[in-house]
Each structure stands twice: as structure tokens, then as C-alpha cells.
Amino acid sequence: MTGKVGISRMLTLEVTRVTERAAILSSLLAGRGDEKAADQAAVDAMRKELNRLDIDGTIVIGEGERDEAPMLYIGEKVGTGNGPKVDIALDPLEGTTLCAKRMPNALAVLAMAEGGSLLHAPDTYMDKIAIGGGYPAGLVDLDATPKENIAALAKAKGVDISEINCCILDRPRHADLIAAVRATGARVSLITDGDIAGIINTTDPTTGIDIYLGTGGAPEGVLAAAALRCTGGQMQGRLVTSSDEQKARAAKMGVKDFNKKYDMHEMASGDVIFAATGVTDGNMLEGIRHVRGGITTHTVVMRSSRGTVRWVKALHPSIDIFK
């Protein structure tokens, strides 16, 4: 291969192993009503697998600060140290509630990029907007109204506004947003959790989701931006720091302008690898299945420098190797 293509492509399969292990071990706790235990299983599994990799890795996006969940902490070093310097963003179990209730779309998620190229976002909320690929840059904007964004998207797609479907997290804080979107004539697809999948769904026409709007976790925002860098699409995010304590945390991570609107290229720059493995069945990935002969995993792994999107179905002969 010629030309510079960023971090080693060999890592594509390595990161797949990391999300596979996290998904398998957290899936053993799916449906058991214990979010923390499922999250802990995913965290431990990711740490174990990451520490086997020949990388000089730093966790720059973890999760859990906000709700004191078990986390791979920000700043933690992972890997053998013998390899490229990489930044790692992860959500070992995206949708802990989905997993604990055995509802669809729980995922194990990780992004890896060249050192210094992922936004160091605190675990606060983030306002987000995303659409799929193939539209002129700047078609939608976080600072435009839902009506303006949806009208612009409908026009670009050449469809009536009534045919636009907007994905939003089902939260009381979104009551006005949901009403505003419905008032345009568009439809709203509500999700209970899991906005990484909600955002990625905008890039896949078969999901029927055209646009994502609303406020969710900032770590999930950076992970979704990493995914969209690979699939194509547009996304913007803005941190929501509502207290002095949150502002202090953001400042500690290097954020200078608390109102900055980040384009996805500023949240994830350079060469990025993104991987997600299904824990429970979802509209993007199959969940973990115990079958005759072992356990199956379903992973999507993508890389921004080439834009390759791989769907990896794996059969692992025995759970024992993961324990």
C-alpha cells in the first residue's frame, strides 16, 4: 500500500476483539436488572483486552464520572507500551439500562485514533445534530431551528417534510424539541437510550432515520463523531455545562470555550478506527447468541482513512476462554 494512511490498519482486528470481549461478558448479565454489574463486566473485559495490545494507549474518553459508574478512567494508560501512541474513546456498555432490561440496542463501543486527535470531552451532556452522507456541507446546523433544519433536509432529499423521520432520546428535557419537530409535520422516532446507535442510524437509509436531534452524553457524542468520520455524514455538538463544577471539569480537560460548536472533524480528527459489538439485538447489530458450538458476536468496525466498513460475524467456540 502506498501513502500515509494513519494508525496501523492491523489495529482494525485488534479493536474488534476488544469490543467482542466486552459484549460477551456484559451479555451474561443482560436481563438481570443490575446495570452496574453489567457495566463493570464490560469495563473489566475491555481493560483486559486493551492491555494485551501492542499500543501506547491513553484513555481520553471514558464514561461514568456523571453517575459514578465503574469506568476505565480518563488518563489511564493501556496496552503493552510497545507500539503507536493512540487515543482511545470508549463506552464499554453503551445502554447499561438496555442491557439490564434486555432491551434492544445495547452495544460495546470503542474508537481509537492517533494520539491527540480525539476531543477530550468531560462526562457532561452535549447538544447534538447529525445527518447521513451525501448532502452539501452545512446543510443543517445546531444553531438553526428544528423547522429550518428539517425543511432544508427535506428539500435536499426531494421529499415532503412529512416523510422526514427524526430520532430523539425520550426525555422530559426534550418535550419542547419533540413538539417543535412534530409541528413541522415530520415524524419523531423516540429511543429510551443509546444515541450512538441513533446517530449512526442516520447514515443508513434502511433504518428510516433521517436526522438525529437532542441532548445526550458528551462521551457518546465523540464516539458518534468518530463513527461518522468513517461512514460519512455530518454532525455537530456543543457541550452543555450547566454548573460551575461541570465547567471546572471541562476546563481541566482543556476546554476553553464552553459554548464552542464542534464539527465532527474537531471531535475526531486524523485517522480513526471505530468498532461496536452488539450486546442485545438491535437494528444495527445482532446481539450475543449462545448457539450449538459456541457464542456468536456481530461487530461493525470501520476506519476513516479508507472509509472501509466491515461487518464481522464471529463464532467463539467456548465462553471459557473469556473468563
**Smallest gap from residue 232 Cβ to Mg ion (A):** 23
Determine whether the annotation assigns residue 317 to a binding site: no
Nearest Cα to Cα of residue 153 among 137, 166, 140, 168: 140
Q: Say how many CA atoms lie within 13 Å of 213 toward its Cβ.
A: 31
Of 283 and 305, which has the nearer Cβ to ligand VTB?
Answer: 283
- 219 annotated binding-site participant: no
Whether the CA torsion 321, 275, 281, 66 is positive or negative: it is: positive
193 is an annotated ligand-binding site residue: yes
Question: Among 11, 22, 5, which residue's Cα sits nearest to residue 57?
Answer: 11
* 193 interacts with Mg ion by CB under 5 A: no
Residue 91 interacts with Mg ion (CB under 5 A)? yes
Binding site for ligand VTB (CB under 6 A): 94-95, 171, 193-195, 216-217, 220
Annotated ligand binding at 233? The verdict is: no
Nearer to ligand VTB among residue 220 and residue 271 (C-beta): 220
Find which of Mg ion, ligand VTB, none residue 194 binds, CB within 5 to 8 Å per kind: ligand VTB
By CB under 5 A, is residue 195 in contact with Mg ion?
no
For residue 50, the cross-strand partners are: none
Residue with smaller CB distance to Mg ion, 63 or 87: 63
**Smallest distance, Å, CB 231 to Mg ion?**
19
- φ, ψ of residue 246 to 5 degrees: the values are -70, -40
d(CA 197, CA 307): 18
Window of 58-66, 135-143, 279-287, 302-310 that interacts with Mg ion by CB under 5 A: 58-66
Q: Which does 123 bind (CB under 5 to 8 A by kind): Mg ion, ligand VTB, none?
A: none
The greatest distance separating any two alpha carbons of the chain, rounded to the nearest whole angstrom, comes to: 56
Helices (H), ranges, 28-174: 35-50, 96-100, 146-157
CB 89 within 8 A of CB 226: yes
Give residues in contact with Mg ion (CB under 5 A). Answer: 63, 91, 94
